[in-house]
């Protein structure tokens, strides 16, 4: 009897164990089925489709990963200029990517070459597109200086190919960034087999690629040519399986296309320039940093390079490079990129060489009381324009919008193939607490709420009209006007008022970092200056940034190309 009982007990244990194993084996594999509904994902029959192989964001061409964190923004070592436009404030910046070097002449020439081929300036319809993108080479001229060599050669001569591009306005830098986004994503689609191979070389003004157009209305990309948008090997294989497949085009959820190239915000640029990652010790910053490198001096203290200058800047009156020979910094104007050591993030020339445009509209203060996370002043919210047919409006050759700048230069606000943008309206702002209007550039500093004339709470958010009365403006900057006359010529009206007290308005942008024309005082990453967004100089260039999607940190921070 005891033997039988033991046998029954053992068999019962085995049976229960087997049931548990079977039940475990029958449990849902959430890699293949939804944790929300239990439905199988990526089923041939239909249902929800997603990319199970999607990994973290790739590093785009030319970029370096910068892990975000907290830092003290605006902490300058000294302020002999007495600008009082810097108050130390603690900010947090999300992880992002930044160009390893400043955008070079060679990179910008590639942009100009593409524009010239797709929108030939010989065609009157497109001439202003190319001309509006050209850098201003006359920025090198000086009334009492002989600089015609740079005027004629700096942009195009191969000797200057890897030197930072200058003579580019803030607006032109933004347009270059937009173009770069589209060309990078266009190549990704081709390499992944979604678009026809080599199609990017055979486009015209009516069949260009735009990332936003492809993501929002892919059938309108490349001028609506299915032979291109469905011409890749992967698209062809999908068509053979199902002609009505909804996955013929890459979507945002596939994680394949990169976010936009753009100008870095002021907070991002300053954080990246400081390179504080090299000074961390048990999550505490050791000491203070005056420059992108460690130490309080502009010359190297290393034994092998002792005394060498660590950046390209003006060392004194009439001294742009030092005495020829050992103590020379190697440059009298700009220098070839990567001529000096990178900072701890692997970024070159974050001090000296050329100063750099950043995205922010300039104001004397940083309003950290309102925001201390990804601080940025300059938000102008827009949305896609929708036509009567319910589809997005794509810009055509006949609907290009041109802007006439204050200096008389004409630029294209959009290019054929892009989605027309319009300001957000009540549909997006009604009963929202985060924003109440499309243009937020002067929020809390420069709008009527910030002035002593503001009487009632609410103001323009409740329909109060803007005033043109100069006495009611916080910043009474000049108002230059340019308009076309009846003959097509430009009527330039220069503001000759003697009552202007500032140049600050919504059209001036921050630029950071010292340049070859600046003394070492401006090499401090916390220093900030401003310049009209539609003007250019021989000492301001730029580099691009890209937002990080997903995790805060990653392994490997080398540029992709």
Backbone angles phi, psi at 58, to 5 degrees: -75, 155
Which of 104-113, 134-143, 198-207, 450-459 has the least mean pLDDT?
450-459
SS3 content of the chain, % helix, strand, coil (to 5): 25, 15, 60
Q: Dihedral of the CA atoms 217, 187, 159, 64 (nearest 10)?
A: 90
In a domain, residue 98? The reply is yes
pLDDT value at position 179?
Answer: 97
In a domain, residue 35? The reply is no
Q: Is pLDDT at 488 greater than 80 in this prediction?
A: no
- Which segments of 175-296 are extended strands (E)? 261-262, 280-281, 284-285
SS3 493: strand
Q: Is pLDDT at 370 greater than 80 in this prediction?
A: yes
Where does the pLDDT of residue 282 fall: very low under 50, low under 70, confident under 90, or very high at 90 and above?
Answer: very low
pLDDT in tens, 170-218: 999 999 999 999 999 999 999 999 999 998 998 898 899 999 999 999 9
Structure tokens at 363: 């104001």
459's torsion region: left (phi>0), alpha (psi -120 to 50) or beta? Answer: left
In a domain, residue 217? The reply is no
Which range of residues forms the domain containing residue 98? 61-192+256-373+512-561
CB 114 within 8 A of CB 203: no
Q: Is pLDDT at 540 greater than 90 in this prediction?
A: yes
What contacts 421, CB < 8 A, 6 or more positions away? Answer: 382, 383, 384, 385, 414
Which of 26-30, 35-39, 493-497 has the least mean pLDDT?
26-30
pLDDT in tens, 35-90: 888 898 888 777 887 777 777 889 999 999 999 999 999 988 777 777 778 889 99
pLDDT value at position 485?
Answer: 66
Residue with the bigger pLDDT between 94 and 480: it is 94
Q: How far is CA 23 from CA 26, 37, 258, 470, 533, in A?
A: 5, 19, 42, 78, 66
Q: How many domains does the chain have?
A: 1
Where does the pLDDT of residue 313 fall: very low under 50, low under 70, confident under 90, or very high at 90 and above?
Answer: confident
pTM equals: 0.88
pLDDT value at position 538?
Answer: 97
463's torsion region: left (phi>0), alpha (psi -120 to 50) or beta? Answer: left
SS3 114: helix
In a domain, residue 502? The reply is no
What is d(CA 267, CA 513) in angstroms, rounded to the nearest whole number?
13
SS3 314: coil
pLDDT value at position 462?
Answer: 35
What is d(CA 282, CA 277) in angstroms, rounded to the nearest whole number?
11
Which of 194-203, 450-459, 500-509, 525-534 has the least mean pLDDT?
450-459
Where does the pLDDT of residue 463 fall: very low under 50, low under 70, confident under 90, or very high at 90 and above?
Answer: very low
What contacts 306, CB < 8 A, 6 or more positions away? Answer: 299, 300
Q: Is pLDDT at 238 greater than 80 in this prediction?
A: no
pLDDT in tens, 391-434: 899 999 888 888 888 877 888 888 999 999 999 999 999 999 99
CATH number of the domain that 120 lies in?
Answer: 3.90.1580.10
Q: Is pLDDT at 259 greater than 60 in this prediction?
A: yes
pLDDT value at position 448?
Answer: 62
CB 176 within 8 A of CB 103: yes
Q: How far is CA 349 from CA 95, 165, 313, 341, 356, in A?
A: 20, 13, 11, 8, 10
In a domain, residue 295? The reply is yes
- Which segments of 408-496 are extended strands (E)? 410-412, 421-423, 481-484, 490-493
In a domain, residue 116? The reply is yes
In a domain, residue 262? The reply is yes
pLDDT value at position 546?
Answer: 98
Question: What is the Cα 37 distance to its own chain's centre?
Answer: 39
Q: Is pLDDT at 22 greater than 60 in this prediction?
A: no
Give the residue ranges of DSSP H helices in 104-255.
Answer: 105-118, 127-133, 148-153, 170-191, 211-216, 226-229, 233-241
In a domain, residue 16? The reply is no
What is d(CA 20, CA 15) in angstroms, rounded to the nearest whole number?
9
Kindly report the average pLDDT of the chain as a whole number: 84
pLDDT value at position 279?
Answer: 52
pLDDT value at position 234?
Answer: 78
pLDDT value at position 201?
Answer: 92
Percentage of the chain exceeding pLDDT 90: 50
What is d(CA 258, CA 94) in angstroms, rounded to the nearest whole number?
17
What is d(CA 556, CA 59) in angstroms, rounded to the nearest whole number?
10
Highest-confidence segment of 102-111, 188-197, 218-227: 102-111
| Residue 197: CB atoms within 10 Å | 12
pLDDT value at position 559?
Answer: 63
Where does the pLDDT of residue 457 fall: very low under 50, low under 70, confident under 90, or very high at 90 and above?
Answer: very low
Where does the pLDDT of residue 465 fall: very low under 50, low under 70, confident under 90, or very high at 90 and above?
Answer: very low
pLDDT value at position 373?
Answer: 95
């Amino acid at each position: 009897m005891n033997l039988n009982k033991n046998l029954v007990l053992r068999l019962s244990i085995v049976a229960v164990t087997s049931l548990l194993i079977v039940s475990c084996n029958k449990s849902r594999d959430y890699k293949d089925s939804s944790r929300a509904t239990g439905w199988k994902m990526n089923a041939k029959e239909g249902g929800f489709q997603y990319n199970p192989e999607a990994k973290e964001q790739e590093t785009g061409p030319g970029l370096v990963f910068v892990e975000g964190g907290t830092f003290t923004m605006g902490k300058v070592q000294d302020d002999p200029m007495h600008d009082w436009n810097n108050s130390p404030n603690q900010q947090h910046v999300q992880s992002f990517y930044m160009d390893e070097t400043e955008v070079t002449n060679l990179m910008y020439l590639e942009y100009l070459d593409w524009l010239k081929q797709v929108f030939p300036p010989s065609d009157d319809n497109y001439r202003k597109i190319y001309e509006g993108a050209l850098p201003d080479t006359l920025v090198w001229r000086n009334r009492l200086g002989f600089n015609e060599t740079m005027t004629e050669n700096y942009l195009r001569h191969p000797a200057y190919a890897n030197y930072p591009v200058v003579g580019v306005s803030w607006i032109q830098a933004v347009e270059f960034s937009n173009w770069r986004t589209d060309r990078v994503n266009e190549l990704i689609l081709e390499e992944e087999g979604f678009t026809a191979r080599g199609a990017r070389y055979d486009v015209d003004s009516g069949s260009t690629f735009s990332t936003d157009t492809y993501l929002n209305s892919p059938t309108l990309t490349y001028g609506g040519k299915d032979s291109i948008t469905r011409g890749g090997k992967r698209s062809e294989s999908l068509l053979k399986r199902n002609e009505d497949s909804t996955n013929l085009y890459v979507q945002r959820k596939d994680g394949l296309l990169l976010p936009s190239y753009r100008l870095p915000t002021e907070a991002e640029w300053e954080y990246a320039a400081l390179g504080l990652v090299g000074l961390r010790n048990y999550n505490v910053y050791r000491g203070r940093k005056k420059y992108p490198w460690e130490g309080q001096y502009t010359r190297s203290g290393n034994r092998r390079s002792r005394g060498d200058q660590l950046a390209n800047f003006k060392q004194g009156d009439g001294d742009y490079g030092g005495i020829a020979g050992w103590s020379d910094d190697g440059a009298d104007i700009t220098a070839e990129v990567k001529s000096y050591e990178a900072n701890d993030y692997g970024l070159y020339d974050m001090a000296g060489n050329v100063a750099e445009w950043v995205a922010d509209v300039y104001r004397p203060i940083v309003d950290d009381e309102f925001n201390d996370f990804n601080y940025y002043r300059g938000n102008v919210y827009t949305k896609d324009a929708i036509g009567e047919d319910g589809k997005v409006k794509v810009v055509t050759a006949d609907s290009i919008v041109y802007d006439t700048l204050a200096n008389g230069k004409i630029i294209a606000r959009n290019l054929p193939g892009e989605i027309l943008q319009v300001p957000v309206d009540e549909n997006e702002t009604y009963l929202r607490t985060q924003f109440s209007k499309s243009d937020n550039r002067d929020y809390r500093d420069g709008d009527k709420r910030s002035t002593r004339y503001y009487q009632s709470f609410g103001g323009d958010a409740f329909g109060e009209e803007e005033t043109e009365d100069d006495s009611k403006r916080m910043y009474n900057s000049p108002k230059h006007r340019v308009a076309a006359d009846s003959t097509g010529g430009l009527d330039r009206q220069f503001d000759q008022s003697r009552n202007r007290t500032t140049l600050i308005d919504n059209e001036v942008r921050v630029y950071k970092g010292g340049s070859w024309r600046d003394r070492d005082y401006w090499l401090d990453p916390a220093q900030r200056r401003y310049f009209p967004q539609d003007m250019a100089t021989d000492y301001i260039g730029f580099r691009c940034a890209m937002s990080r999607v997903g995790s805060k940190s990653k392994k490997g921070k080398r540029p992709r190309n």
